Amino acid sequence: MRLQRYELGERELKIQKPFMKGTDVRRLQQHLKAMGFLNGRVDGIFGYETKNALKNFQKKYGLHIIGCCFQKGDRTLEKINELFADRYLDWPVYQKNPQHTGYTPFKILPPLRLIRRIKYNETTELRTFGNYILTWSPEKIKLIRNGRKKPMWEKKIEGNLYCPNIDNNIIFIQCGNGVIALDPTKGEKLWNHTEDVELTFSPLPYKEELIITAKNGLCSIDQLTGKKLWSYSMGDMFSLQPAAAKGLITAIYGRIVYAVDAKTGTEVWKRKLSHIVDVLPVIEGDTIYIVSGGN
């Protein structure tokens, strides 16, 4: 069904006969679906199921429970924009963000319904960001627009491919001893950066930098240009992917935790724990959570 185009917030959405239709209704339904409030179809029609989902959303966030949107004084759109401005649905890096919190406040309500099935002949992993799904296998990487089956583009990748990450609307791929930056719209290469030694783990976007883990330490490169900003060397290879927050890069080798200044690459502190650390560190606020020997 072809829907008339409206921007979300352009008009008041409510139950009326005939039911209201439009791209603004569809966008509202997509938000409610993503947050777990809508179990029905995303069809662009403001019916009773959409109204009830909207009322549940308004109740959850302490809004005026009216089951309609964008009346004068209504904060529903403001709250939706506030939630999605923080990209709660995006998982651009492993465990969602550079702090590895793996947290989203949205509760997924059963029953879940299969919307679309895409079959691949090889083992495939995926990552979501914005309105896109990034999939990759040992041989190639593809970008699919949400709601479509056919990829926008696909590229063959040579080398040991680690999990790609996304930031600043750039896809970063680490394989072998190099990092490649791709434009997500066409899959075109923006720049590539190589090191003398093999790189390990996925590139970690942090602010305007990209933190690279190599066999002999860390280095930081500019996300937009690929220019190296600093490097931090050590005798051994870090055993876990670093985490980043509060201007520090936290990296682990065995029982030793290192904290490196994100701007300069200088060591700020290090601490030796009683047991080997084999779980990624998680940073929340000013606290670093590390599992060591079951503690």
- What's the pLDDT at 71? 67
Confidence of residue 204 (pLDDT cuts 50, 70, 90): very high
- Residue 77 and residue 133 in one domain: no
Chosen domain end from 55, 85, 115: 85
Question: Number of structural domains, the chain?
Answer: 2
Mean pLDDT of 115-132: 80
- What's the pLDDT at 109? 65
Whether the predicted pLDDT of 152 surpasses 70: yes
- Residue 169 and residue 253 in one domain: yes
155 is a domain residue: yes
- Residue 180 and residue 283 in one domain: yes
108 is a domain residue: no
Domain span at residue 237 reads 125-289
- What's the pLDDT at 86? 55
Whether the predicted pLDDT of 87 surpasses 60: no
- Residue 146 and residue 26 in one domain: no
11 is a domain residue: no
Q: Are strands 243-245 and 248-253 parallel, antiparallel or unpaired?
A: antiparallel
What residue has token string 């679309």? 116
Contact 240, 277 (CB under 8 A): yes
Query: Which CATH number is 181's domain given?
Result: 2.130.10.10
Rounded to the nearest 5 percent, the helix, strand and coil shares of the chain are: 10, 35, 55
Average predicted confidence (pLDDT) for the chain: 86
User: When comparing pLDDT for 105 and 201, which is higher?
Assistant: 201
User: When comparing pLDDT for 36 and 191, which is higher?
Assistant: 191
- Residue 46 and residue 185 in one domain: no
Which uninterrupted H or E stretch holds 217?
A: strand 217-222
- Residue 145 and residue 25 in one domain: no
- Residue 129 and residue 81 in one domain: no
Q: What is the pTM of this model?
A: 0.72
Confidence of residue 75 (pLDDT cuts 50, 70, 90): confident
Sign of the CA dihedral 191, 197, 200, 206? negative
Mean pLDDT of 189-210: 90
Contact 9, 27 (CB under 8 A): no
- How many CB atoms are located within 10 Å of the residue 34 CB? 17
109 is a domain residue: no
User: When comparing pLDDT for 162 and 89, which is higher?
Assistant: 162
- Residue 166 and residue 62 in one domain: no
Query: Which CATH number is 31's domain given?
Result: 1.10.101.10
295 is a domain residue: no
Could you report the per-residue pLDDT of 19-69, keeping only the tens digit for each? 999 999 998 998 888 788 888 888 999 999 999 999 999 998 888 888 777
